[in-house]
Structure 1
Amino acid sequence: MNILLLSNGAPGYHRFFNALMQLFSSDGHQFSVAVDSEFSKDQNNLGELGCEVYEFSSFFSAHLTDHMLLARYSDCNLNSALLSDYERAETYKIAGGRDLQFYERLKSALLSFFEKVILGGEISLVVYEGVSNAFAHFAYFVCVKHGVSYKGLMGSRLPGRFVITDDPCAESKKIENIMSDISSGRLLVDKSVKDWCEQYLDNIENLTPDYMSFNRLDKVDIFKRYFNMEKLRKLFRIIRHLNDDHKHSFQIGNPLKHSFQMFKRNFYRKLKVGFVARYYLKPVPLDRFFLYPLHFHPEASTSILAGAYLNEYEVIRNIAFNLPQGTVLYVKDHMSAFAFPELKFYKKLAALPNVKLLAPDAPTKTLIKNSEAVITLTSTVGYEALLLDKKVYLFGRVFYEFHPDVIRIENPTQIFDLLTKGKAENMTVGREYNLDFLAAFYLYTRTGRLNLMASQKEAIDSAKNIYPEICL
């Protein structure tokens, strides 16, 4: 089997994926790598893999827009697929000088590049994380168009479980189909799975998803993050690539500028922590409230699954001015994202009527249980709320959207009517349904703790543990 690995500047991910490819190779499979830029090729040690490496930025620099190719893919939402990288470029300030022609040529180049690599290399399988950026999204479009399998590896909300997915917007339907088979009796759930789900549901208030344990984004210490040998080695790599074609390295741009912007963002976060804390309020026992968890930006869970609602201030303002009388909105800051937004974001939130901003360490499960309901874009808090017998009002797309106690907000003008109606209605499901829901989710996931940011040794061990599941 011919396998294509996608590789880019995601920090540390190459350790796991490079080890995974070596396992495929040991089993007699052929593999190659598509990488976004010369800098990522160097940083991810792709030259050591002994395989064909296709580098995109050089291809992009020589590419002329192919309008016929774009027309052939016009059934795909090509413009939406650019949003994730556009948001990152905005956040890290690397998008200067890009115009309409640049983005038209970028779409054309990505499609042409992946058709050449995937079709020319007779690729049967593309491997990466879940579709999370334009580089992966356009590879996925080519895979779908030409019947090639795409396996995106992602952590799940269940501890010790991970997900293999292609289209992140199709997860809900796949889990719903498993749920339907369970409910109809076509699928009998093994007792060990039932017991696991019972124990999980009984302990939901004390559990944390694996990805929250791995990402370490709650740490604001600058010295430990930046003054170490790994960052020094990265600096030497950056110096080697100062004369690269940064314009066509669309995901990272100039690596020196990109790294400086990342450092500045984290440095300013450290400085802002104390100022942000002034806007936090304590929950009030007598409050009747809806709970809204802030999301991390930039991230696929928002830009891919809730792209129409990236401006969370606007979302929260719409909710605040459409709350049922006598209720307030508790906005809980995100443990991985607090103090990243500008201070004026917090100031504007705190000034909204009916809104109370809570600290990231406020007890989420307790807040869920005491709330009227949860309102969210795609958050894990929504999933946890369903298991704690609370309604969820959902703006985005997420794996639990088919649950009967999820109410989709298709239009902000619906908010008042939906919240008012929902308050008058009882929950539609109970423990037995949620156990079946958990069983369906469990059966959709695979065994293994997926840590894409692991150290070299941990990454090799993780790849060995997960590889058998990927080969199923």
Structure 2
Amino acid sequence: MKKILFLGKSYPKREITWIKGIEKLNKNIEITIIEFSKRNFYDLLKETKEDKIKKIDFIEYLKKMYKIYNLKKESLILNELREYEIKYGLDYNFILNCDRTIVNYKKKKRVVFLLLLTIFAEKIINNNYDKVVGELSSSSDLIFYYICKKKNIQYLSFSHGRIEKNISIDFLNGNRKYLKTKYEELKKREFTVLEKEILRDYLKKVGKKNIVPDYEKKNENARIFSLKKEIQTLRANIKNNFLSYCDDIRFSCDQNASLKIKFFQRVAKLTYPLKKYIQKNKWDKPEKNEKFLLVPLHVQPEASTMTFAQEYLDQIHHVKRLSQSIPIDYYLYVKEHPSMYIYRKNKYYNEIKKLHNVKLISPFEDQLELLKESKGVITLTNTTGYEAILYKKPVYLFGKVFYQEYDYLNKIKNYSELRELIIKNEEYSVNEHNYHSFILATLLSLRAGNYNLITLDPNVENEENAMNIAKIILEE
């Protein structure tokens, strides 16, 4: 009997949906799911009362073992972690910087949690799982990832394909499964009739500017405070919230239980319309015939930066370095992300506006119009970089993301090389067959599936999506 291990995330309904699809396709699969916060574990129990899924509560293990390991000297714990780094190729400092929960604990607690997560993961994986399904966005994910890699166990990490109703399988180096081999193949041959049709239909969408990822469209509603939704959510979850709070505020490894943070998020949503009105004159206006490079800011905290562009987490410092590295007759158009504008403080924008060759662009400005007028895009991992490729604009990439495979992309290793590359790319052109090969390879590397947040898109739970993702898990 095959065994699959799921690493749970917020809103366990997502994994439960996939598991139900697997059970319909193959009843001879033994399935285990681990939750790394008490809240998620209670939600899992609520959703799977009648199911045969094996459920593991990591928090109970952590509470029991923490009492023992917290008595050890910190130096001894660090020595044990160093041994695990050698044994599995783990990089704990990298892992912590990918994390948004454990990293907030005090130092001794942090290292104890890391050690217990590692001991736990090693013990679990030794149960001969065929596959582990997780992400690459937390300490628990990455510790399991490294141990699986060492033991030659397949670790499946999904992400939104950045194209509606599509899902991708990603690696820690930012690459997307199947993309590179398909791209290399397509560059060397003529496209089939079907491939030409797929490409033609997609390029029509590009021409109509209908390429904004669907999750971004759905995020528009999520930015507005809704008392009705808040009451509905509270009613549905009040029991589990109450039962889990004391454990999660002390031991959660996946979900921040801080009431202060949750309160701030609600207030930010509530004041969002007023903030938009008050700050409407804060933004600089794009100028026609001005030479500029578009710099989209990223959402934080998010795996797109924490895992795949860790060196550039301080985006203000990044923009300052860019400002020092472009030709004298260029501007940087730094555009805020619509989802981040709710939470960003005024002083953040003021720091950016101090720079002599930088303009701060409204998050509500038409990004694709800006892109078309620009001399290129400078990005960490943003989807705007892919959109720039579609519009045949130079892309200067600092992070790790799937489109780094494109032959005409500028992968930046240090700021000092940026100026010369910008000047060189004033005569930017691409080979048409190569360009079409990359776009087609991008499309063909995807699998059908909806990876939107379940809180934003109810269709994530439907049977069709369950079967689509279940097929990927079973076939890969």
- Common topology (TM > 0.5): yes
Which residue of 2 is the match for residue 109 of structure 1?
Answer: 116
Q: Does 1:199 align with 2:175?
A: no
> Does the 8 A contact of 1:217 with 1:337 survive in 2?
no
Q: What is the match of residue 126 of structure 1?
A: 132
CA spacing shift, 1:346–1:451, aligned 2, 3 Å = same
Shift of 1:416: 2.6
Answering whether residue 299 of structure 2 is matched by residue 296 of structure 1, we say yes
Q: Report what 1:232 is aligned to.
A: 235
In the alignment, the residues of structure 2 paired with residue 237 and residue 245 of structure 1 have an alpha-carbon distance, to the nearest angstrom, of: 11
1:172–1:402 CA contact under 8 A, matched in 2: no
Which of 161, 178, 186 is residue 156 of structure 1 equivalent to? 161
Aligned pairs (5 A) from 1:2-81: 2-9=3-10, 12=11, 14-26=12-24, 27-28=26-27, 29-44=29-44, 45=46, 47-48=48-49, 49-61=51-63, 62-63=65-66, 64=69, 65=77, 66-67=80-81, 69-73=83-87, 75-81=89-95
In 1, the alpha carbon distance for the partners of 2:349 and 2:97 equals 24
Give the direction of change, closer, same or farther, for the CA distance of 1:179–1:341 in structure 2 (3 Å limit): same
How far off its partner does 1:164 sit?
2.6
| Residue-by-residue CA offset, 1:296-339 (whole Å, 9 max, x unaligned) | 11111111110110111111111122221221111112122223
SS of residue in 2 equivalent to 1:262: helix
Distance in 2, matches of 1:441 and 1:410, equals: 24
Structure 2 gaps of 5+ residues are: 70-76
The partner residue of 1:98 within 102, 106, 112 is 106
Change (3 A) 1:110 1:225: farther
Query: How far 1:15 moved relative to its partner?
Result: 1.8
Tell me how far 1:446 sits from its aligned partner.
0.8
Letter in 2 for 1:84: C
Taking structure 1 as reference, are residues 37 and 332 closer, same or farther at Cα in structure 2, changes over 3 Å only?
same
Q: What is aligned with 1:85?
A: 99
State TM-score, norm by structure 1.
0.88
Q: Is the 8 A contact 2:22 2:467 kept in 1?
A: no
1:276/1:346 contact within 8 Å kept: no
Q: Give yes or no for contact 2:177–2:445 (8 Å, CA) kept in 1.
A: no
Q: CA deviation at 1:42?
A: 0.8
Deviations 1:114-149 (A, max 9, x none): 1111212x2111123x31222211111121111111
Q: Which residue of 2 aligns with 1:438?
A: 439
Deviation digits for residues 140-176 of structure 1, max 9, x if unmatched?
11211111111222211223321133x2425258522
The Cα RMSD (Å) is 2.5
- Where 1:357 maps in the other structure, the secondary structure is strand
Q: Measure how far apart 1:218 and its partner are.
A: 5.9
Using the TM superposition, give the Cα deviation of residue 16 of structure 1 relative to its aligned residue in structure 2, in angstroms. 2.5
- Indicate whether 1:367 and 2:370 are aligned: yes
Quote the Cα distance in structure 1 between the aligned partners of 2:428 and 2:257: 55
What is the deviation of 1:210? 2.9
Alpha-carbon shift at residue 252 of structure 1 (Å): 2.8
SS in structure 2 of the partner of residue 206 of structure 1: coil
One-letter code aligned to 2:15: F
Looking at structure 2, the residues matched to 89 and 344 of structure 1 have their Cα atoms a distance apart, in angstroms, of 27
More deviation, 223-232/18-27 = 223-232
Counterparts in 2 of 1:406 and 1:272: CA distance versus 1, 3 Å: same
Q: Deviations over 1:80-111 (max 9, x none)?
A: 1211224x678xxxx2x511x33322222222
What aligned pairs does 1:201-216 form with structure 2 within 5 A after superposition? 201-204=203-206, 205-214=209-218, 216=219
Q: Which residue of 1 aligns with 2:74?
A: none
Kindly state the Cα deviation for residue 245 of structure 1 after the two structures are TM-superposed.
5.8
C-alpha displacement at 1:222, in angstroms?
1.5
Aligned residues of 1:306 and 1:395 also touching (Cα < 8 A) = yes
Matches within 5 A, 1:36-435: 36-44=36-44, 45=46, 47-48=48-49, 49-61=51-63, 62-63=65-66, 64=69, 65=77, 66-67=80-81, 69-73=83-87, 75-86=89-100, 95=104, 97-99=105-107, 101-120=108-127, 122-128=128-134, 130-165=135-170, 167-171=171-175, 174-185=178-189, 189-204=191-206, 205-214=209-218, 216=219, 219-224=222-227, 226-244=229-247, 246-254=249-257, 256-267=259-270, 269=272, 272-423=275-426, 425-427=427-429, 429-435=430-436
C-alpha separation in 2, matches of 1:458 and 1:171: 25
Once the two structures are superposed, what CA deviation does each residue of 1:324-355 show, in whole Å capped at 9, x if it has no partner? 12211111121222232111011111222111
Distance 2:346 2:102 in 1: 20
Asked whether the equivalents of residues 41 and 47 of structure 1 are also in contact (C-alpha less than 8 Å), the reply is no
CA distance in 1 between counterparts of 2:443 and 2:4 reads 27
Q: Distance in 1 between matches of 2:285 and 2:228?
A: 31
Note closer, same or farther for the CA distance 1:127–1:173 as it changes in structure 2 (3 Å cut).
closer
Deviation per residue, 1:200-249 (Å, 9 max, x gap): 123212222233234x2564321347533123322332222233263221
Structure 1 unmatched runs, 5+ = none
Q: Which amino acid aligns with 1:23?
A: G
Alpha carbons 2:169, 2:177 under 8 Å: kept: no
Pair 455,265 (structure 1): closer, same or farther in 2 beyond 3 Å: same
Q: Which moved more, 1:367-376 or 1:457-466?
A: 457-466
Describe the SS at the equivalent of 1:30.
strand
Q: 1:193 to 1:452 in 2, by over 3 A?
A: farther
Task: List per-residue Cα deviations over 1:240-288 (Å, max 9, x = no partner).
Answer: 2233263221333545455334334434555533344332122111211
The verdict on how the C-alpha distance between 1:218 and 1:288 changes in structure 2, with shifts beyond 3 A counting, is farther
